[in-house]
Amino acid sequence: MSKDVRERSIDPASQDMLDLCQRAGLETAWDRLEKQQPQCGFGELGLCCRNCNMGPCRIDPFGEGASKGVCGATADIIVARNLLRMIAAGAAAHSDHGRGVAHTFKLVSEGKAPSYQVKDQAKMERLMEEYGVESQMALAEAIMAEFGRQEGPIRFTRRAPAKRVELWEKLGIDPRGIDREIVEIMHRTHIGVDNDPVHLILQGLRASIADGWGGSMIATELQDVLFGTPTPTFSEANLGVLEPNQVNIIVHGHEPLLSEMIVAAAAEQEMVDLAKKEGAVGINVAGMCCTGNEVLMRHGVPVAGNFLQQELAVATGAVEAMVVDIQCIMPALGALAGCFHTKFISTSPKAKFPGATHMEFHEETAMQTARAIVETAVLNYASRNPAKVHIPNIKTKCMVGFSVEAIVSALGGSLDPLLGAIKSGAIRGLGAVVGCNNPKIVHDWGHVNLVKELIKNDVLVVTTGCNALACAKAGLLLPEAADMAGEGLKGVCKALGVPPVLHMGSCVDISRILVAAAAIANALGVDISDLPAAGAAPEWMSEKAVSIGAYVVSSGVFTVLGTVPPVLGSSAVASLLTSGARDVVGAAFAVECDPLKAAALMIDHIESQRRKLGL
């Protein structure tokens, strides 16, 4: 094996496939990152502006060239505006996902989406009570109205502790409608509108709160209503879940709306019989990224990998169909799929890709589309070239599906045992570790090392997204992983039979972490910012992660980023985010690329919060 694959990933299955890709001349994201070197220094610092056609303008960070854009915008203004546009894009992505689920829920209540039913009636009734409405239809309409609401508040923001809501109101960042806040960012960052960096960033926080406590939370809650609230279940993770003798269908992206139907269609006897007729022994659906997390935690569907493994999965030559919906899908997949028999199938009316076959999904005909996709995959099995098949024989068992409801139930019906363990010091605090992969960081290295260090120090970890999948592959989502934890956490996990790292779902399910944090803060009679808790995104890359970071900090949680955000071109913005924010929202960001040092920062913070609480 060549040396550099170990410099690209710590995951043996990925190393195996990277080695194969190198030998076969198949290009991956790591190769393309190399070809991008050196990356634009102005872009890295956030110092270039294309917001009008007098530009593009860029500020010389060494103070020798231009210090202002043509309009007079300074480094501080340009960096703040660029950051805000990242937040807007991230909040838009999560919230449009939430809107899609809300739209489906509305169609179900109108009887227009026969493929779907309400699976969690009790949760729907709790939501109806929360909204003060009497019918499913009224709930659907009230939730849909959250997006276009001209005045606040967004209902779910009131799940935050009262002190937090008061603070948001005082700061003027209690969000109005979700769409309104995103539009206002685009307006304020247009040339010649808002040119005060602090004022700009406060609007970024407001829009991000509308994401976390709005769009993302709507997605989570209604997905639970439609598809069931996750409960702990066992499955497997990594490329070894692909089956050599079965039709392999990968569902990739973020929305479970179609993938739920694909899982059901692939289990139909008619489809299985067709697969057998085509020479396969069955149909194997596997997940990727957050669509993978969704079907993993609700159905135990095995997951083939996280963000940086999407190309590696196709390169196994054993994938009949790579079915994608929205977000985190590399446009490179089309050309790569063209080197194999793999059908690259796009399904969202919002997302088309070069080299893809488009089989458009609509809620009204979801099951028919799912069947057509599964049939396409099955009929493609005969085109598989066995000489090109290489599936790494590597997969790991995992325990997933810790919704807040499931955590409370594992604790025997209330949060008290958890609070007791935190108070006694058996559990020092909570670490929320989330986010993507990024080839700038050795794949999974940041995730796995940070999480291992936290649990070793008795910090209970909750995880979502690609971090959750990195932890699954590393065996950290198993009750046995408690042996890697410190004595206190180990004792609690062994007593409850749970892993020291709790899988809470997909990216939008970071809203579950907010709900859990609010519940713990309320039980202790404090604000979220007082809790012995810290967050981290060790390998983040997406704009959604920027919005997530902003709403997590706005909610009062100290957060460590493992890749550097493009803000260092403005010392004013950088210091606002890393220290000034503490005086405003009670929490701030830190940037630390070394996962062990990042863990140390989180542990220091947790210990100092414990001292302040007198624990």
- Cβ within 8 Å of residue 573, ≥6 positions away: 46, 76, 79, 80, 83, 197, 201, 567
Question: For residues 441 and 593, is the Cβ–Cβ distance under 8 A?
Answer: yes
Q: Which candidate, 122, 104, 121, places its Cα nearest to that of 113? A: 104
Residue 473 binds to ligand MSK (criterion: CB under 6 A):
no
What are phi and psi for residue 507, nearest 5 degrees?
-60, -45
Single residue of 415, 459, 466, 581 touching ligand MSK by CB under 6 A: 466
Single residue of 5, 20, 49, 517 touching ligand SF4 by CB under 6 A: 49
Q: In whole angstroms, give the CA distance from residue 364 to residue 104.
A: 9
Q: What one-character DSSP code corresponds to residue 542? A: S
Q: Which is nearer to ligand MSK, 391 or 507 (CB)?
A: 507
Q: Which residues pair with 120 in a beta bridge?
A: none
Q: In whole angstroms, give the CA distance from residue 585 to residue 163.
A: 11
Q: Which stretch binds ligand SF4 (CB under 6 A): 68-76, 347-355, 465-473, 513-521?
A: 68-76
Q: Which is nearer to ligand MSK, 155 or 254 (CB)?
A: 254
Single residue of 155, 371, 473, 544 touching ligand MSK by CB under 6 A: 544
Q: Which stretch binds ligand MSK (CB under 6 A): 166-174, 398-406, 497-505, 538-546?
A: 538-546
Instruction: Report what 128 binds from ligand SF4, ligand MSK, none; CB cut-off 5-8 Å by kind.
Output: none
The amino acid at residue 372 is A
To ligand MSK, the closest distance from the beta carbon of 537 in angstroms equals 8
To ligand SF4, the closest distance from the beta carbon of 173 in angstroms equals 25
Residue 223's CB: how many other CB atoms inside 10 A? Answer: 29
Q: In whole angstroms, give the CA distance from residue 255 to residue 614.
A: 43
Residue 186 binds to ligand SF4 (criterion: CB under 6 A):
no
- Residue with token string 């959604």: 544
Residue 523 binds to ligand SF4 (criterion: CB under 6 A):
no
Q: Which stretch binds ligand MSK (CB under 6 A): 68-76, 217-225, 377-385, 541-549?
A: 541-549
Q: Which stretch binds ligand SF4 (CB under 6 A): 25-33, 51-59, 258-266, 402-410?
A: 51-59
Token duo for residue 59 = 């500020």
Residue 542 binds to ligand MSK (criterion: CB under 6 A):
yes
Residue 255's CB: how many other CB atoms inside 10 A? Answer: 27
- Residue with token string 């999965």: 313
Single residue of 1, 24, 40, 54 touching ligand SF4 by CB under 6 A: 54
To ligand SF4, the closest distance from the beta carbon of 204 in angstroms equals 18
Q: What one-character DSSP code corresponds to residue 587? A: -
To ligand MSK, the closest distance from the beta carbon of 468 in angstroms equals 8
Binding residues for ligand MSK, how many (CB under 6 A)? 15
Residue 553's CB: how many other CB atoms inside 10 A? Answer: 24
Q: Which is nearer to ligand MSK, 177 or 302 (CB)?
A: 302
Instruction: Report what 391 binds from ligand MSK, ligand SF4, none; CB cut-off 5-8 Å by kind.
Output: none
- Residue with token string 């070894």: 240
Token duo for residue 198 = 């602090």
Burial of 417 (0-12, 13-18, 19+ CB in 10 A): middle
Q: In whole angstroms, give the CA distance from residue 284 to residue 306.
A: 18
To ligand SF4, the closest distance from the beta carbon of 569 in angstroms equals 13
Instruction: Report what 69 binds from ligand SF4, ligand MSK, none; CB cut-off 5-8 Å by kind.
Output: ligand SF4
- Cβ within 8 Å of residue 524, ≥6 positions away: 419, 530, 531, 613
To ligand MSK, the closest distance from the beta carbon of 540 in angstroms equals 7
To ligand MSK, the closest distance from the beta carbon of 465 in angstroms equals 3
Q: Which stretch binds ligand SF4 (CB under 6 A): 66-74, 138-146, 172-180, 589-597?
A: 66-74
Q: Which stretch binds ligand MSK (CB under 6 A): 103-111, 310-318, 359-367, 540-548?
A: 540-548
Instruction: Report what 466 binds from ligand SF4, ligand MSK, none; CB cut-off 5-8 Å by kind.
Output: ligand MSK
Residue 52 binds to ligand SF4 (criterion: CB under 6 A):
yes
Concatenated DSSP letters for 249-290? EEEEES-HHHHHHHHHHHTSHHHHHHHHHTT-S-EEEEEEHH
How many Å from the N-terminal Cα to the C-terminal Cα in the chain?
50
Residue 55 binds to ligand SF4 (criterion: CB under 6 A):
yes
To ligand SF4, the closest distance from the beta carbon of 338 in angstroms equals 38
DSSP H helical segments within 366-427, as ranges?
Answer: 366-380, 404-410, 416-424
Q: Which residues pair with 476 in a beta bridge?
A: none
Token duo for residue 421 = 């363990």
Token duo for residue 478 = 């198993």
Q: Which stretch binds ligand SF4 (CB under 6 A): 21-29, 55-63, 377-385, 552-560?
A: 55-63
Q: Which stretch binds ligand SF4 (CB under 6 A): 63-71, 85-93, 132-140, 516-524?
A: 63-71
Q: Where does this chain bind ligand MSK (CB under 6 A)? A: 254, 289-290, 306-307, 328, 435-436, 465-466, 506-507, 542, 544-545
Q: Where does this chain bind ligand SF4 (CB under 6 A)? A: 49-52, 54-57, 69-71, 73, 78, 191
